[in-house]
Amino acid sequence: MMIAIPDVLDAAGVARVRALIDAAEWVDGKVTAGHQSALAKRNRQLPEGSVAGREAGGIILDALGRTALFVAAALPLKVFPPLFNRYEGGEAFGIHVDNAVRIQRGSDFRVRSDLSATLFLAPPDAYDGGELLVEDHFGTQAVKLPAGHMLLYPASSLHRVEPVTRGARVASFFWIQSMVRDDDARRTLFDLDQSIQIIAADRGHADPAMIRLTGVYHNLLRRWADC
């Protein structure tokens, strides 16, 4: 399932994050790439564990916890601490697939990467190119979202970032281990959850049919959850 999640950060949140990371020291993006990805990757990143990155990542993690659509779609069990990248001057990231397991440097914290997330931190008119292209069952989807909006997509997807030919594309990226490993099961739960929200708005949460549907949701989650 691929879904755009609007307004994870508002304008003030984007400004806070950008103030922190823009003043920090950036390094070659290959430092977090696997062997295959390193061959295709040309960008810059904040080093894992940098003071600015940790503070900016904390802002994003707090925002994710308040974003109901993210919680409903991802059903997060673990979130890898957000990282930050920057593309400019023709930099790009060729076609690749994300590593199945991400390990935080200097710790035993690890995440099975069920979902990948890209949180855009620059407005689309600030740069040319830089689209995130994700291959799915319906072909290749090109995504370039407003600052503060996020794309959530299966980490198993082949994807790439197009060359940035003007300006700078700045984003945060990270991975999520879901309570529900299977993407089809997660999609079913998400569709059911969204339907419940629509019906509840019309009938109220005390409606007997709503109570039964909510029970179905939780019984399916209980069956599929690995937590």
The predicted model gives 152-176 an average pLDDT of 97
Phi, psi of 174 (to 5 degrees): -165, 175
For the chain, what are the domain ranges? 3-178, 183-224
Average pLDDT rounded to a whole number, residues 68-89: 98
Measure the CA angle with vertex 85, ends 78 and 148; round to 5°.
70
Q: Is the dihedral of CA 18, 78, 222, 65 positive or negative?
A: negative
Same fold for the domain at 3-178 and the one at 183-224? no
Q: pLDDT tens for residues 12-64?
A: 999 999 999 999 999 998 776 555 566 678 999 999 989 999 999 999 999 99
**Cβ distance 154 to 1 under 8 Å?**
yes
pLDDT digits (tens, 9 = 90+) for 116-140: 999 999 999 999 999 999 998 888 9
Helix (H) or strand (E) holding 33: none
Is the separation of the CB atoms in 123 and 162 below 8 Å?
no
Q: Taking the CA atoms of 217, 135, 65 and 9 in sequence, report the sign of the dihedral they define.
A: negative
**What are the structure tokens assigned to 135, written together?**
């291959």
- The pLDDT of residue 136 is 84
Enter the DSSP assignment of 105: T
- Do 58 and 176 contact (CB within 8 A), yes or no? no
Q: Tell me what the pLDDT averaged over the chain comes to.
A: 94
In the numeric block, the tokens 């709503």 are attached to 210
Q: What is the signed CA dihedral for 221, 79, 85, 120, rounded to 10 degrees?
A: 40
Q: Extract the tokens encoding 17.
A: 């994050």
Amino acid at 51: V
* Helix axes 11-22 and 51-65, enclosed angle (nearest 10): 160
How many angstroms separate the most distant Cα atoms in the chain? 59
DSSP annotation of 219 reads H
Residues above pLDDT 70, as percent of the chain: 96
**Alpha-carbon separation of residue 127 from 89, 145, 169 (angstroms):** 10, 12, 6
The identity of residue 201, as a single letter, is A
Residues in the chain: 227
- Write down the pLDDT at residue 106: 83
pLDDT given for residue 39 in this prediction? 67
Q: What is the pLDDT of residue 37?
A: 60
If you average pLDDT over residues 90-101, what whole number do you get? 95
Mean pLDDT of 134-153: 94
Q: What is the rounded CA–CA span in Å between residue 106 and residue 103? A: 9
Show the beta-strand stretches assigned E in 18-75.
Answer: 27-28, 41-42, 44-45
Q: Mean pLDDT throughout 102-121?
A: 94
- Fold of domain 3-178: Jelly Rolls (2.60.120)
CA atoms within 13 A on the CB side of 167: 12
Report the range of poorest mean pLDDT among 102-116, 119-133, 161-175: 102-116
- Quick check: 66 pLDDT over 60? yes
* pLDDT computed for residue 137 by the predictor: 80
CATH topology of domain 183-224: DNA Excision Repair, Uvrb; Chain A (4.10.860)
